[in-house]
Amino acid sequence: MRNAVMHEVADDAVNPMKFDEVVKVIHDVIDEAGNVYNIPADEVTSFKAQVDGMWEEVRTDNEKAKSYCRFFLQTYGNKEAKVVWEAMLSEETLLFGDDKVERSKVFHSLELTLQKPKNQTKDKISYTELLNGNEKFIVVIGDSGSGKSTLAKNLVIQHHGISDAKVEVSNLKNHSLLLYYECRNVSVKEFTDAVEENFEKVCQKLGPKTVIQEIIECNPLILIDGYDECHKHSYTVVQQMVNKMRNHECRVIITTRPSAADKLKNFLKREGVKFQEYEISEICLIDDQLKFLEKYELHVTPHAEKVVTSFSSLGRNIQELFVRPINLLLFCHLVWNFPERINDLKSHAAVAQVTYDLYEKIIQSKLADHSIDMDGLVDSFFQDLGNFSLKMICERHFVFPENEVVDLKRSIRSKLEKYGLIGTLDPNALLGVVLKIKRPMKYSKSCTYFFHHKSIHELFASKPVVMELRKNNALPLILTPQKLENVKPLEVLTYVFIELSAAEESTVFWNNWPLLRDAVGDVGLHYWQKILLNCPESPHIAEAIAGVYLADSDSWSINTGSLFLEYL
């Protein structure tokens, strides 16, 4: 009976003016059943009366409205959300160039480590078990490029069945609604805005407050991606989400880098929220690394061959530089676009430099048909981009609306005019190499810009810092002591340490070590350990950081699977 009724009225069932038609269809089905099964007329009449009675109960104003809103949200809302996220997430634009690949085809099954108190064995789980625990809130911690955002986006893809993706995550189907929020999104200032971004048309019809109330009562899955990228409004949005959801049935997954993990956990504790903490594991096993690369080799066209063979030929010490998804993806691009530089990959510093050089090579290819001083224009472009990158990080902006890019475009345009290229080369043609340009889905909105990955943003932001240290033994003016009190660009400074780790940079490093030490500020020894692991063959970096360790202890040691450092 249900199938017959829904076949007749499904498209109009959410319209309250159609309620009487729904009742009529049910009556018709009952009559037909009475004829087919020879049911006595009085029983048919009695059953119709029961249906009418139940329907009248539902039709009380409050219940009728709630049933209508919930059905509308779970049907049309999910359809709308699928269309929105399919347009945005079905394909992944690769780091360099315009090549795209279906996200669901290249997603690597990540492992996560369940965080436990010290001296307890830490359990590893597959990402498919992420929703198997009992805690309502889940914190997922991962270093730059470890796959946090990819994990969140893949949950969206599986929930909505985008690109025919199969549901691999246990218990995902228990959640009839999913709400996805990126903390970097500067257009979202309140929880209401996040809801409208996911369910815009439904909010227009029902009102955002009604939609929020229905979401709360529908056991939703809430994804909050990139807590470390929060700007001043993001903290408000996250707090509103936590306050709304903590007393209702739901699951909330929040991703963050380690640098913001303590801040997030302290916030959740203050809010009285219990949570389970996981850390994304590195892709350390050669078999897993090759599986990751095979997917890109198989699904990226037209020039994706040789990736697996090339990686297999590397020494294990070089393969260990590529233990995060972002670095493995970078390796693919090196094979496709810069194979002559693969043998240069001896350290994290070399990987960072070849990444920067690859962007430079692509910019040069854009200018290849023009008879100009290419090096001068490229240097000017990257200086402008580096200064812009650092400014945006200091302002905690990771997505840039059109008005924030105006000055950068103006500067690029003036450079093109100086080199006689104005009118023949659009500034966006150069910007589009390094920045992704997101076209608006509505005519009323302007384009937004962002780096292909936050680590790329930080790499470019480190360049003006290094330049100023070399030139003037000073930090850029934007990194004032007052600014550094509020913003700690630790990942930018990590790239600075990496670049200054070479032997020929030791003088520059020692001249500026006090400045860099003060800029880093009072951080845990974990950060300094990270610097050492990124610069394992740099005596001057090791000596300086040993002083930091010895300020608290008479001895120090760092022991990983591939590196052991000790001072007694």
- Provide CB contacts within 8 A for 105, sequence distance 6+: 163, 295, 298, 299
The predicted structure's pLDDT at residue 12: 46
- Provide CB contacts within 8 A for 12, sequence distance 6+: 18, 21
**What CA dihedral angle connects 100, 104, 108 and 113, to 10 degrees?**
130
Percent of the chain with pLDDT over 70: 88
Please give the structure tokens belonging to residue 175: 């959640």
Mean pLDDT, residues 45-65 taken together: 73
Q: Domain 89-280 adopts which CATH fold?
A: Rossmann fold (3.40.50)
The predicted structure's pLDDT at residue 99: 75
Mean pLDDT, residues 390-398 taken together: 92
The predicted structure's pLDDT at residue 22: 76
- State the Cα–Cα distance between residues 146 and 282, nearest whole angstrom: 7
Mean pLDDT, residues 516-540 taken together: 88
Q: How far is Cα of residue 318 from the mean position of the Cα atoms in its chain? A: 27
- State the Cα–Cα distance between residues 207 and 229, nearest whole angstrom: 29
- State the Cα–Cα distance between residues 244 and 564, nearest whole angstrom: 47
Convert the pLDDT of each residue in 477-489 to its tens digit: 898 887 777 788 9
- Provide CB contacts within 8 A for 518, sequence distance 6+: 481, 484
254 and 273 Cβ atoms separated by less than 8 Å:
no
The predicted structure's pLDDT at residue 163: 77
1 and 29 Cβ atoms separated by less than 8 Å:
yes
Which pLDDT band, with edges at 50, 70 and 90, does 444 fall under?
A: very low
The predicted structure's pLDDT at residue 561: 45
Please name which of 466, 402, 397 lies closest in space to residue 437, comparing C-alpha atoms: 402
- State the Cα–Cα distance between residues 544 and 496, nearest whole angstrom: 14
Checking if the pLDDT of 209 tops 50, the result is yes
**Taking the CA atoms of the chain, what radius of gyration do you get in angstroms?**
28
Mean pLDDT, residues 236-254 taken together: 95
400-401: strand order across its sheet: 400-401, 448-451, 435-438
Lowest-pLDDT range, 60-69, 237-246, 491-500?
60-69
Higher pLDDT, 310 or 568: 310
Strands 91-93 and 100-102: antiparallel
- The total of other beta-carbon atoms located within 10 Å of residue 130's CB is 22
- As to burial, measured by CB atoms within 10 angstroms (0-12 exposed, 13-18 middle, 19+ buried), residue 247 is exposed
Convert the pLDDT of each residue in 395-410 to its tens digit: 889 999 889 999 999 9
Please give the structure tokens belonging to residue 116: 């436990």
59 and 19 Cβ atoms separated by less than 8 Å:
yes
- State the Cα–Cα distance between residues 241 and 227, nearest whole angstrom: 13
Mean pLDDT, residues 284-309 taken together: 84
Higher pLDDT, 561 or 79: 79
Convert the pLDDT of each residue in 445-456 to its tens digit: 678 889 988 999
* Residue 223 DSSP symbol: E
Out of 49-53, 122-126, 332-336, 468-472, give the one with best mean pLDDT. 468-472
464 and 498 Cβ atoms separated by less than 8 Å:
no
534 phi/psi in degrees, rounded to 5 = -85, -20
Higher pLDDT, 465 or 349: 465
Lowest-pLDDT range, 232-241, 409-418, 521-530?
521-530
Peptide bond into 536 cis (omega under 30): no
In total, the chain counts a number of residues equal to 568
DSSP string, 241-262: HHHHHTTSS-EEEEEE-GGGHH
In 23-110, beta strands by DSSP E: 91-93, 100-102
Checking if the pLDDT of 170 tops 80, the result is yes
Strands 275-280 and 137-141: parallel
Which pLDDT band, with edges at 50, 70 and 90, does 117 fall under?
A: low
In 3-state terms, what secondary structure has residue 272? Answer: coil
Checking if the pLDDT of 54 tops 90, the result is no
- Looking at every residue in the chain, the average pLDDT score rounds to 85
The predicted structure's pLDDT at residue 529: 87
Checking if the pLDDT of 16 tops 60, the result is no
The predicted structure's pLDDT at residue 63: 65
Please name which of 342, 70, 375, 349 lies closest in space to residue 217, comparing C-alpha atoms: 70
The predicted structure's pLDDT at residue 393: 93
The predicted structure's pLDDT at residue 470: 95
* Residue 246 DSSP symbol: T
Checking if the pLDDT of 5 tops 80, the result is no
Helix locations, 10-115, DSSP H: 19-37, 41-58, 61-72, 78-89, 103-106
Number of H helices, E strands in the chain: 26, 14
Residue type at 5? V
Which pLDDT band, with edges at 50, 70 and 90, does 11 fall under?
A: very low
- State the Cα–Cα distance between residues 449 and 436, nearest whole angstrom: 6
Mean pLDDT, residues 134-154 taken together: 93
225 and 89 Cβ atoms separated by less than 8 Å:
no
Please name which of 565, 521, 520, 524 lies closest in space to residue 546, comparing C-alpha atoms: 565
